[in-house]
Amino acid sequence: MILANRKYNTNAVLVMLFVMPMWINFIIRSWAMRDVLVFLGIGGGEYPELATLLGLTYNYLPFTILPLYSTMLKMDKNQIEASYDLGAGPVTTFFKVIVPMTMPGIISAATMVFMPTMTSYVIADILGEGKVTLFGKYIEIYFTQNIWNEGSFLALVMLALIGISVLVPKLLTRKEAKVKGVGIYD
């Protein structure tokens, strides 16, 4: 919301700050993140789950911010002002006006982040130092050990999960489109 309400010149700078790290390979970003976490005392194998979580967040946060940002730019600010004029507080306005208007961006961001994080195992290897095993790592282990049946089955399960993650939001938005009267007091 902060990004969408800025003036144009600072807007472009803030967007560039989120986009520029994506120009660097994610393996290099992960190694740099590992060095920063070791310097802070979080990395180095002491807190592998936290280090992996921070690394995944750092690597995939731009994929969340950009769809939300583009959706919030298209929001009708008059509806937010009308919500306040009709007596709604900030929390009610957020949940009854802003969230429904940004739902396409939320669904897009969730889909764009869910799919790559399901298959990401390199970040967990680098930051978790082999102590954190994600779903994609199991597939890699089975395939490198020539256990093709289990690896193929897990890949099929992952494909099904990703397919469900794409279909469920479409069904939800289709159902929401049929509902009339989205507003503060509904």
List the chain pLDDT tens, one digit each, 186 residues: 665 665 556 777 887 887 888 888 888 999 999 999 999 988 777 889 999 999 999 889 888 988 998 899 888 899 999 999 999 999 999 999 999 999 888 988 988 898 888 888 888 899 888 888 888 889 999 999 999 999 999 999 999 988 888 888 778 767 655 544 554 444
Task: Give every CB contact of residue 65 below 8 A, 6+ residues apart in sequence.
Answer: 3, 18, 109
Task: Give every CB contact of residue 93 below 8 A, 6+ residues apart in sequence.
Answer: 80, 83, 84, 184
Residue 2 belongs to a domain = no
Domain count, the chain: 1
Residue 1 belongs to a domain = no
**How is residue 180 written in tokens?**
């009339």
Residues 159 and 93: their CA atoms lie apart, in Å, by 37
Residue 96 belongs to a domain = yes
pLDDT recorded at residue 183: 47
Residue 186 belongs to a domain = no
pLDDT recorded at residue 151: 92
Q: Which domain CATH number covers 145?
A: 1.10.3720.10
**How is residue 84 written in tokens?**
């306040």
Residue 184 belongs to a domain = no
Per residue, the 3-state secondary structure of 2-53, as one string, reads CCCCCCHHHHHHHHHHHHHHHHCCHHHHHHHHHHHHHHHCCCCCCCHHHHHH
Residue 3 belongs to a domain = no
Q: Is the pTM of this model over 0.85?
A: no
Domain that holds residue 126: 8-178
